[in-house]
Amino acid sequence: MQQPVVMLLPYDSCSGLELFGLRFARDLIDRGHHALVAAPEGSLIASQCADRKIPLWQFPATVKYDLASFPACLKMVSNLNPAAVVAFRTQMMYPLHAARLLTGRHVPVFLFYRIGVGNHRRNDPIHRRMFRHLAAVVPNADYVKNKILKFWGIDAAKVVCIKSGVDSEKYRPDSARRASLRKELNVDDQAVIIGSSGRIHPEKGSEILLRALFDERGPARNRQNVHLLYIGREYQPGYADHLHNIAVELGAGDRFHILGFRNDVEKVYSALDLFAFAVTSNEAYAYVVLEAMASGVAPLVPATGGLSEMFDNGVEGFFFEHRNTSSLRQALDSALSMPAEQLKLMGQLSRQRILQTADWNLMMEKYLALFKKNGVKGF
């Protein structure tokens, strides 16, 4: 039987990182490889595996350096004898390294480093030893790659930057989708919809964007045709209601819309005129921005980390100063003051950039070549 590639996702959440892992596993399966996802039973990830017909290996939820991950990794490596294991957070290196030592199975381990920016120093003898046994660390932004090379004790040849890619067939401009979603929201086609997707969370700038757009200095306060739409799961019960109450206080209750987590988020992007992302954390990269750009929607994001590598300011989208609400308001005002056709053209240029530099298939070719280079069986 073909040895599987294991996507190790031992988390209860299902944000952009986990969705990427699921999409990656499904793609490998579609290409004829044996792949599965290791995740907690009953989790959102497990539910997504069922929806996408991806085999699931039960693995306990892991928070930081949870000791339960050590016997779980040992069992996984012993029973599955995987062709490779892909982890997404550095804390999984330790139990995986222990499992390789105890079983004597030299399983290629890849760290798809898609969260954080590599600021923690990991250049002590223990980390240097573990990094020697990693097949590769794969950041998705040059910004993160440079941080890793600066702070980690790892051979530069093992750090391979592969920029994220997006399914440009799934995420595309679509007038029928646009009309359908706007009808669902009871918003006419002449209105301007600014949207944001992903977790609805304070550190994602959910409240900041709402206030920056509609408060007394907000550029949409007196523009009654401007709507704000959030698509995603609230980080804790009641947070969506909290945001809606703020919108009501600002006189924009009927222009603020929240949709829950949906598997058809691509239909939502088509209805947008602008994608805004007011994240306050140090975002390494943002898959949701790629999805919006592929859908022909111009992005408005902070110029920080890997986000600043995603497009050219004023050509395919807008940058503003990170954690600067005044700069955010100014960028929003610039976008809203732009003629509709010019903003639409910017969205079209965003999609062209995706097709040329961030298409999913182009990205997968680089990952498959990396697997082959590192001797993963079946590649």
- Give me the count of residues in the chain: 379
Helix or strand holding residue 113 (H, E): none
pLDDT cut 70: percent of the chain above it: 99
Three-state secondary-structure class, residue 275? strand
Is the Cβ–Cβ distance between 343 and 298 less than 8 Å?
yes
378 domain-assigned: no
Neighbours of 269 (CB within 10 A): 26
In a shared domain, residues 198 and 158: no
Cα separations (Å) of 50 from 6, 80, 295? 16, 20, 26
| Site of tokens 């399983």 | 107
Is the pLDDT assigned to residue 114 strictly greater than 80?
no
| pLDDT tier, 345 (very low <50, low <70, confident <90, very high otherwise) | very high
Would you say 141 and 161 are in contact if contact means Cβ atoms under 8 Å apart?
A: yes
Do residue 40 and residue 154 come from a single domain?
Answer: yes
Q: Write the CB contacts of 73 (distance below 8 Å, at least 6 apart in sequence).
A: 92, 95, 96, 98, 99
- Would 170 be classed as within a structural domain? no
Flag whether 157 is in a domain: yes
Residues 223, 105, single domain; the answer is no
CATH code of the domain in which 62 resides: 3.40.50.2000
Confidence band (pLDDT; 50, 70, 90) for 65? confident
pTM: 0.86
Q: What is the pLDDT of residue 254?
A: 97
Whether residue 311 is found in the same domain as residue 345: yes
Clarify whether residues 143 and 182 are in a common domain.
no
Please tell me the predicted confidence (pLDDT) of residue 76.
Answer: 98
Do 16 and 142 lie in a common domain? yes
283 touches 161 (CB < 8 A): no
154 and 188 belong to one structural domain:
no
Distance CA 77, CA 79 (A): 6
Q: pLDDT tens digits, residue range 228-252?
A: 999 999 999 999 999 999 999 999 9
Residue 209 lies in a domain: yes
Range of the domain at 234: 175-357
In a domain, 45, yes or no: yes
Would you state the pLDDT for residue 285? 83
252 and 311 co-located in one domain:
yes
What is the C-alpha separation between 377 and 213, in angstroms, rounded? 52
Position 379 in a domain: no
Residues 185 and 127 in one domain: no
Asked if residue 138 has pLDDT above 80, the reply is: yes
At 162, the amino acid letter reads I
What is the number of structural domains in the chain?
A: 2
Q: Where are the alpha helices (DSSP H) in the chain?
A: 16-30, 44-52, 69-80, 93-103, 125-133, 142-151, 175-185, 206-214, 239-249, 265-269, 287-294, 325-337, 340-357, 360-373
Tokens representing residue 239 in the block: 């947070």
Q: How confident is the model at residue 286 (pLDDT cuts 50, 70, 90)?
A: confident
pLDDT band per the 50, 70, 90 thresholds, residue 117: low
